[in-house]
Amino acid sequence: MGSTVASEDVKRFMPYLLATAIFMQMLDSTILNTALPAIAEDLGESVLNMQSAIISYVLTLALFIPVSGYLADKFGTRKIFMLALILFSLGSLFCAMSQNLLQLDMARVFQGLGGALMTPVARLSMIKTYPKNEIVRAMNYAIIPALVGPIIGPLIGGYLVEWVSWHWIFLINIPMGVLGLLFSLKYMPDYKEEKPQLDLKGFFIFGSASVLLSVGLELLGHPKNTSIIVVLLMAGFLMLFLYFKHAQKALKPLFPLHLFQVRTFRVGVIGNLATRIGISSIPLLIPLLVQVAYGKSASLAGWIVAPMALAAMFGKTMVVPVMNKFGYRKILRFNTGALGILIMTLAIPGLDANIIWFIPVMLFMGILNSIQFTAMNAIAISNLRDYQNSSGNSLLTVNQQLAIGFGIAIGMSVLNLYQNQFGSGEVEIHKAFRYTFITIGLLTFFTAFIFRRLHTKDGDNLKTED
């Protein structure tokens, strides 16, 4: 089914439905960062062990995004989108009702199920509703909340914690979910496909690998669990190998191996994974540093980290001219190295320093992040054939979500390792944060070498005329 059956009312309101989905998901991905210390205190947990509340959500997104298109094609976009809103809203309610960390993690998984279906299905409906000459303008309008959410998320989280309670960072999703349901009943089209196919075996193998690796990385900060960590990581890599063997034989695998025969895609995906592993923990570590090490408020932590997202919006205006002038190979190598150095500079201020010092670093990091992510995504899909676009985009999206989860797991594990080594006093915790920033910064800096595999002319087909 295509855009010819869509009424003018549907075309008018579809961007609002996608915008609602994106806003709820982006807000939820960032609002928790400033609220973790308050949640940890209320649940009787160490704040340094709270990363599972974020990882469980991100990992669920990564696992179930690949099946969103299949479910929408089989059961209809309207039904699956409404189911996604219900799951997300109920998950938010369960999060607010959680009495311990395990309950919160399980509720976040429930919430992640809704998030994994919500945005991809709304985007699929947009693609099928609008003709090609209208889709870009409609998408640009709908994607504005994706830029606004990360800016206001940490601020809303900080103020809700101080003025009401941490429970409200989840409860605010419910009225938005109800509003989305009402609009969906009237304006969401119900597209289906005749015979959708899903590589169920590949889905379970790849999903198992993702879960095992994620849990193994999360436990790295707990030296007592060494044998369990080794078993989990080895099992995870074994499942990846089994997926590789499966994908070689399957007629329509979840993620076809022929994608990796495209050099620019291979470099883009590996670079995306490696670079985001270093960068992804920073939006969580900075609010924790401000509250745990410096003893400042949650709202102030939000104001410190918000400029990073604000600068990312500005950075998007620079991407095209910068890439046109210098090329993807040169920019990605320089930009990745610069990000690594910036992360290491976060270790400079002492406990007596004014935390306002972090704001200019956050601003520069936001600009470089924007350039980095846009460039990596663009170069990854630059040489894909038409028949590879769908599976390539899906794998790229899953890769990004996994990298965020892995990055948070590694960042918090490194912090835990240093904290266990130095002690739990105020000075010792601050020292653990400093060493963590140096470690993550070095990791990010050396990932710049991945982009040496690019050629000087790679990405030339993406350049636009001045």
Q: 1-187 belongs to which homologous superfamily? A: MFS general substrate transporter like domains (1.20.1250.20)
pLDDT of residue 3: 41
Determine the distance from the C-alpha atom of residue 292 to the mean position of all C-alpha atoms in its chain, rounded to a whole number: 24
Rounded-to-integer distance, Cα 140 and Cα 389, Å = 20
* Residue 238 CB neighbour total at 10 angstroms: 13
Rounded-to-integer distance, Cα 341 and Cα 447, Å = 12
Q: How many CA atoms lie within 13 A of 330 on its CB side?
A: 9
pLDDT of residue 74: 86
Specify burial of residue 127 (Cβ count, 10 A radius: 0-12, 13-18, 19+).
middle
Cβ(259)–Cβ(8) under 8 Å?
A: no
pTM: 0.84
* Residue 287 CB neighbour total at 10 angstroms: 27
Rounded-to-integer distance, Cα 281 and Cα 276, Å = 9
Rounded-to-integer distance, Cα 180 and Cα 192, Å = 21
What DSSP string describes 278-308?
A: HHTTHHHHHHHIIIIIS---HHHHHHHHHHH
**Could you tell me how many residues make up the chain?**
466
pLDDT of residue 319: 75
Rounded-to-integer distance, Cα 396 and Cα 267, Å = 12
Q: 255-466 belongs to which homologous superfamily? A: MFS general substrate transporter like domains (1.20.1250.20)
Rounded-to-integer distance, Cα 84 and Cα 203, Å = 20
Helices (H), 45-131: 52-75, 77-97, 101-129
Both tokens assigned to 109: 């998984």
Rounded-to-integer distance, Cα 448 and Cα 442, Å = 10
Cβ(260)–Cβ(268) under 8 Å?
A: no
Assign 3-class secondary structure to 395-408: HHHHHHHHHHHHHH
SS3 category, 425: coil
Cβ(292)–Cβ(347) under 8 Å?
A: no
Q: Tens-digit pLDDT profile for the chain (466 aa)?
A: 444 456 666 777 777 777 778 778 777 777 888 888 889 889 988 887 888 888 888 888 888 888 888 888 888 888 999 999 999 999 999 999 999 999 999 999 999 999 888 888 887 787 777 775 666 566 666 666 666 777 778 888 888 888 988 999 899 889 988 988 888 888 888 888 777 788 889 999 988 998 888 888 887 766 677 788 889 889 999 999 999 999 988 888 888 888 888 898 899 899 988 998 888 889 889 999 999 889 888 888 889 888 888 888 777 777 778 877 888 888 899 999 999 999 999 999 988 888 888 999 999 998 898 888 888 888 887 887 877 777 777 788 888 888 888 888 888 889 988 988 887 778 889 999 999 999 999 999 999 999 998 888 877 776 655 4
DSSP classification of residue 322: H
Q: What is the residue whose two structure tokens read 């070095």?
A: 442
Contacts of 260 (CB under 8 A, 6+ apart): 266, 269
DSSP classification of residue 355: G
Contacts of 149 (CB under 8 A, 6+ apart): 22, 23, 25, 26, 27, 29, 30
What is the distance in angstroms between the CA of the first residue and the CA of the last residue of the chain? 37
Rounded-to-integer distance, Cα 234 and Cα 365, Å = 34
